Amino acid sequence: MFSYIFFGILAFVALFCLVQISVADMRRRIIPDVYLWPFMLIGLIFACWGYGWWPISPHFAVAGAIMGYVLTFCLGMFFDFIHRNSKNTYSSIGLGDVKLIAAGGIWLGIEYLGGALVCACLVGLIWGLWHKQRYIPFGTFFGFGVIWSLIQMFFLV
């Protein structure tokens, strides 16, 4: 009984952190570490001590974090290399986004991280075309993708 209350409180705190990350990225174009690190730590707690009812094992959580971090960092460096000599003043992918995707890899593992990224990219593309903006707050849309993937993980599969 105590473990359900404990994990329920942790899930609420993680959701609060994800909402604060989304709001901060939308308003200030920054993903604050004060919300990112607890979100990441709670994902590790779920993967390590929730094993049995949590579908992601600790091994897949760590592998998802490494995969998300490395692939996103390499993609960001590639885009920065392309846009280095252009007149674009915005960087393509910030390091906060890289850390957030690594945290999403902890929560979702390798299996569902791709679905969250595809969902975030599609919703972000639609939002960017609708609002005709050059800057797309990817952290907000990736938070939506994480929640969508978690719902899919538990209820649709």
Q: pLDDT for 85-120, tens place per residue?
A: 666 655 677 788 899 999 999 999 988 999 999 999
Burial of 155 per CB tally in 10 Å (0-12, 13-18, 19+): exposed
Whole-structure pTM value: 0.87
pLDDT in tens, 35-82: 999 999 999 999 998 767 788 889 999 999 999 999 898 888 887 777
Nearest by Cα to 157 from 100, 109, 122, 106:
109
Residues 137 and 25 sit within 8 Å (Cβ to Cβ): yes
Tell me the pLDDT tens digit for each residue of 135-145. Answer: 788 889 999 99
